[in-house]
Structure 1
Amino acid sequence: MGDKSYWPKIDPGFKMIPPKLERPPGRPRKKRIKASGEVGKRGTYQCKRCFQFGHIEKGCNATQAELEQELPPPCPKTTKKSKGNPNLMLSK
């Protein structure tokens, strides 16, 4: 077949219109798909119960006795120092 003038004329019996172009709801998907060798955003997960990497608290199988033995001593809490002049007093 040649160009458009050689195409057969067909009458479908109804008027064809293009579909409406509407933006779907939600955040648009990113256009670029990362390759398998590229680094993603997330690293390895760390459990908040036993502090091991590779799983999260929901899937932790450590017993309470194991947790008490392996937990490091808690860090002392530091107080937040305020900025500014310590001699300045504010009255309410």
Structure 2
Amino acid sequence: MSTDDRRCAHTCRNACQMLNDALKQEREVLQYYERLLKECDYPDVRDFVREMVEEKSASILRILQKLNELRARGQILDGVISSYNPNP
């Protein structure tokens, strides 16, 4: 599936499918860079790839944090909505 084939469903609240797709792709790229790092023995390139690994790791962390924020916000909203539910 190409990037152009992905569209936001606009139906997710607690978990964004687009962010989950981005997370999957970032993890795949990180794994590629880690394999490259294991194989490469040229110091300048190794340093560059190591920086790329750090950047991808940071991107993955940011995506995970945003997904956690969305889940937490959804749970809060569910709690607020359920507190107004007249049926116990």
Same fold (TM over 0.5): no
Q: Which has the higher contact order (CA 8 A, sep 6+)?
A: 2
Larger radius of gyration: 1
Q: TM-score, normalised by structure 1?
A: 0.25
Q: TM-score, normalised by structure 2?
A: 0.26
